[in-house]
A and B are shown apart, each in its own frame.
Chain A
Amino acid sequence: MSNSKLDLQKADKKPKENITKVDIWRQFPLLIYAIIIITPLSLVFFATFKNLKQLYSDPLGVPESWSLANYKALFANENMLIYFKNSVIVTCISVFSILLLASMIAYAIVRLPKWIGNIVFGFVVVGMMVPTQVNMIPQYLLLDRLNLLDKHLGLICVTVATFLPIAVFILTGFMKTLPKGLIEAASIDGASHWQIYSRVMLPLSGPSLATTAIFCFVIVWNDLLYPLLFIKSDSLKTMPLALLEFQGQYLTNYPMIFSGVVVASIPMIIIYVFLQRYFIAGMTAGSMKG
């Protein structure tokens, strides 16, 4: 399939009807899936223009008017900007630390003799397979003892430690596929580990770093459990935690939650689209190998 795409790019002389045929064959499932994605999503989007009564009397319909009342109400709470800022701080520092630490570990795993590498890999990656629910209370009591409760630092430490395994797992998987020749050549030239890591490994790992970054951004940005447990002061709350206040026992203010969710999703989509450029970088790196 990718092959045929390349064909299409290069051989302009091919008959036109052929192109249309291939295109429809490809566009049709994409379009269907796009509809499957958009339809439920539009319900969320529509809901942000309704009040509770309208939402329940017509949960699936198009809103009567495109009133921005919910968004206005959301930002009428001046703390919302603080929550947003907190989310940005916590997410950026966490994701950056995860990527840095995980890529270093992944590099070491790839370069170490196989059995030591496997031990390190196993030790870290097993953390991925632990159900979070069981670790909560001990983690809470640990932060309490270290006097890190109700501080962003404590939240960040636990977040980095918890999501490091996933990043190590993805990055190691990809780094293992990088051509050994380049690394060995650099090694023979007398480059140090730091040099090989920063000048060979990282640039070659563009797409996988971008992928891992996207994963971590989404997970950390939407994480509710740890902020819920560790943050108490209003001034330190993150977005998902703040939105929890609209959730009631019997009556949840979904239009407000959804408005918050829509606002919160915008930075993620921007980051996602932005990180796509590293996929192109990966492609050039890929062609180097040939």
Chain B
Amino acid sequence: MNFKKLSVLAIVVLLVGAFVVGCGGGNDEPADQGADSGEKQVTIRFAHWRGEDKEAFEKVIAKFNEEYPNIKVQQDISGSEQYRAKIQAELQSDAGPDVFTTFPGAHFATLQEAGVYADLSGAEFLDRFSPHLLLAGQADGKQYAVPYQLVFNIPVYNKGLFEKAGVEPADSWEGFLEMCQTLKDNGITPIIFDSEIGPGQFMNPMLMNNMPTDDALTRVEKGELKLTDDWFVKTLAQFKELKDKGFMQDDVLGTRKAGAAALFAQEQGAMLAQGSYMMASNKQQNPDIKQGLLAPITVPADQAKYEGIHTSTFMIGINAKSEKQEAAKKFMEFLFRPEISAMYANVTGQMLTVNGVEYESPELNEQAKWLEKKTLFQPRYTLTVQEVEDAIVNSIKDVLGGMSPEEAAAKAQEEVERSIK
């Protein structure tokens, strides 16, 4: 009796469940078609990892629908960690997103080789970008993805604290050390460094003038150069110097990115060794803060080739398996219009690769200055093998943890050789 009741209940529950599920699934489509007068309605799915941009994209999509009422755009947002796994599974099925984003470097390279991108070469909207900023999304001479955001991967500094200590951004290694010393003498922690993204970010300006050639890291990956070479060991030694002289806060390795950002926003340190993308959120945490960008120059002033680092990232592409590629292209074209981009940039506080965008906030104007300067594309993202990147980043952490530069470099080189053999 009891069991009979139980099984009847089970069947009822399952049926009700199936019914609800069925309804849920069926609900969408009639609504879609009925919405507009006869014209075919399509919904494209746009997968990305920037939760902080949700509202900005909602605004863009609302505008987009004024012009294209028949194309619905659904954002599909997941955190950047979950995103990688999700997109990898989805792109193999026919149910993948129509428009999706990738990180430059190893992530893009692998996906591109698997043939998941529709070719965008020849699309008119590509003319709206500076050609060198499009490079990150190219392979075999074709444009597969369009990097939309422009990031400067150099430390953000607190102008107020610099003024208080009476220092200016330096243009040589000597000058940089002196600057840090003065800050320290004034009771200000010069550099706030976190172990989560700090090493991967700060390594770029540290390397830009030390590398023998701009493609040095690519050559490491090919086995032509070694991390035990002078230029890399010297870079690690300079990291060690900054740490040993007390220019970073205590316990760098135990500090996570959120903690570091909070310290900087509370004006407990002069530089935040992350990147320009933090300026908007720092401002949100502390509206009074005045911020600028600067890069450590690791050589004498006359030998400096580069003033900073840039990355074109948040690369938007179209799924080759999508049946709605035309609609997806229309959305991209719309998004890349200067006035629409300006809207997006000013809401999110992110700099964009599109030309002719008018920026409003002081932070964005501060970043815009760097468009004129000599910057190198982020060396870390020229790597296509993730393990090589990990080895390099870890060697920096090892040095910050007390290992000697030579030892850390040797260990990293071993890992590199293991992963490229």
State yes or no: do A and B touch (Cβ within 8 Å). Answer: yes
> What is the interface of chain A, defined by CB distance below 8 A to chain B?
52-53, 56-57, 59, 86, 89, 92-93, 96-97, 100, 133, 136-137, 140-141, 144, 149-153, 156, 194-195, 197-199, 202, 224, 228-229, 232-236, 244-253
- State the CA gap A56–B3 with chains docked (Å): 55
Knowing A151-B25, A253-B51, the reply to whether A224 touches B262 (Cβ < 8 A) is no
Give every chain A residue within 8 A of B28 (Cβ-Cβ): 233, 235
Interface on chain A toward B: helix, strand, loop, or mixed SS?
helix
Q: Which of B24, B80, B88 contacts A236 (CB 8 A)?
A: B24
Query: Interface segment, B91-99, B372-380, B400-408?
Result: B91-99
Assess whether A137 is in contact with B262, with CB atoms less than 8 Å apart. no
Q: Which of B52, B77, B285 contacts A244 (CB 8 A)?
A: B77
CB of B315 closer than 8 Å to a CB of A: no
Interface on chain B toward A: helix, strand, loop, or mixed SS?
helix
> 20 pairs across A/B with beta carbons < 8 Å?
A53-B286, A53-B287, A57-B262, A57-B266, A59-B262, A86-B24, A144-B94, A149-B95, A151-B24, A156-B17, A197-B3, A228-B78, A228-B82, A229-B85, A233-B28, A236-B24, A244-B79, A245-B51, A245-B54, A249-B49
Min CB gap A112→B, angstroms: 19
- State the CA gap A229–B95 with chains docked (Å): 11
Assess whether A100 is in contact with B2, with CB atoms less than 8 Å apart. no
Assess whether A136 is in contact with B14, with CB atoms less than 8 Å apart. no
Give every chain B residue within 8 A of A137 (Cβ-Cβ): 88-89, 92
Knowing A56-B262, A228-B86, the reply to whether A89 touches B94 (Cβ < 8 A) is no
Knowing A53-B284, A141-B92, A229-B89, the reply to whether A151 touches B82 (Cβ < 8 A) is no
Assess whether A153 is in contact with B21, with CB atoms less than 8 Å apart. yes
CB of B90 closer than 8 Å to a CB of A: yes
Assess whether B285 is in contact with A248, with CB atoms less than 8 Å apart. no
- Chain B: CB-nearest residue to A145: B93
Chain A to chain B: the 8 pairs with minimum beta-carbon distance, closest first:
A198-B3, A248-B52, A248-B51, A144-B93, A152-B21, A247-B79, A140-B89, A251-B281
Give every chain B residue within 8 A of A248 (Cβ-Cβ): 50-53, 79
Give every chain A residue within 8 A of B93 (Cβ-Cβ): 140-141, 144, 149
Assess whether B74 is in contact with A234, with CB atoms less than 8 Å apart. yes
- Chain A: CB-nearest residue to B21: A152
Interface residues of B in 1-27 (CB under 8 A from A): 1-3, 6, 10, 13-14, 17-18, 20-21, 24-25, 27
Knowing A53-B284, A56-B285, A234-B74, the reply to whether A247 touches B92 (Cβ < 8 A) is no
Give every chain B residue within 8 A of A56 (Cβ-Cβ): 258, 261-262, 265-266, 285
- State the CA gap A161–B84 with chains docked (Å): 24
Assess whether A229 is in contact with B278, with CB atoms less than 8 Å apart. no
CB of B359 closer than 8 Å to a CB of A: no
Assess whether A232 is in contact with B45, with CB atoms less than 8 Å apart. yes
Give every chain A residue within 8 A of B82 (Cβ-Cβ): 224, 228, 244
Min CB gap B78→A, angstroms: 5
Assess whether A202 is in contact with B50, with CB atoms less than 8 Å apart. no
- State the CA gap A267–B278 with chains docked (Å): 37
Assess whether B13 is in contact with A93, with CB atoms less than 8 Å apart. yes
Q: Which of A202, A228, A233 contacts B2 (CB 8 A)?
A: A202
Assess whether B262 is in contact with A52, with CB atoms less than 8 Å apart. no
Min CB gap A60→B, angstroms: 11
- State the CA gap A13–B416 with chains docked (Å): 76
- State the CA gap A93–B11 with chains docked (Å): 11
Assess whether B51 is in contact with A252, with CB atoms less than 8 Å apart. yes
Give every chain B residue within 8 A of A229 (Cβ-Cβ): 85-86, 89-90
Knowing A149-B95, A235-B28, the reply to whether A100 touches B89 (Cβ < 8 A) is no
CB of B277 closer than 8 Å to a CB of A: yes
- 16 new A-B contacts, CB < 8 A, other than A228-B82, A234-B74, are A53-B285, A89-B20, A93-B17, A96-B13, A137-B88, A144-B95, A151-B24, A151-B25, A156-B21, A198-B2, A199-B3, A233-B24, A248-B50, A248-B51, A251-B281, A253-B51
Give every chain A residue within 8 A of B77 (Cβ-Cβ): 244-245
- State the CA gap A33–B21 with chains docked (Å): 43
Q: Which of A197, A198, A199 has the most CB of B within 10 A?
A: A198
Min CB gap A138→B, angstroms: 9
CB of B76 closer than 8 Å to a CB of A: yes
Min CB gap B109→A, angstroms: 20
- Chain A: CB-nearest residue to B80: A249
Q: Which of A149, A194, A195, A248 has the most CB of B within 10 A?
A: A248
- Chain A: CB-nearest residue to B20: A89
- State the CA gap A97–B13 with chains docked (Å): 9
Give every chain B residue within 8 A of A140 (Cβ-Cβ): 89-90, 92-93
Min CB gap A1→B, angstroms: 36
- State the CA gap A168–B262 with chains docked (Å): 46
Q: Which of A52, A224, A249 contacts B50 (CB 8 A)?
A: A249
Min CB gap A130→B, angstroms: 16
Min CB gap B121→A, angstroms: 28
Q: Which of A89, A149, A235, A251 contacts B52 (CB 8 A)?
A: A251
Give every chain B residue within 8 A of A251 (Cβ-Cβ): 52, 280-281, 284
- Chain B: CB-nearest residue to A234: B74
Assess whether A150 is in contact with B261, with CB atoms less than 8 Å apart. no
- State the CA gap A125–B262 with chains docked (Å): 45
Q: Which of B3, B20, B257, B261 has the most CB of A within 10 A?
A: B3
Min CB gap B157→A, angstroms: 18
- State the CA gap A144–B53 with chains docked (Å): 30
Assess whether A250 is in contact with B20, with CB atoms less than 8 Å apart. no
Give every chain B residue within 8 A of A236 (Cβ-Cβ): 24-25
- State the CA gap A137–B27 with chains docked (Å): 28
Q: Which of A53, A59, A194, A235 contacts B27 (CB 8 A)?
A: A235
Q: Which of B76, B277, B285 contacts A52 (CB 8 A)?
A: B285
Give every chain B residue within 8 A of A153 (Cβ-Cβ): 17-18, 21
Assess whether A232 is in contact with B286, with CB atoms less than 8 Å apart. no
Assess whether B24 is in contact with A250, with CB atoms less than 8 Å apart. no
Give every chain A residue within 8 A of B277 (Cβ-Cβ): 249-250
- State the CA gap A9–B278 with chains docked (Å): 62
Min CB gap A70→B, angstroms: 15
Min CB gap A94→B, angstroms: 9
Min CB gap B323→A, angstroms: 15
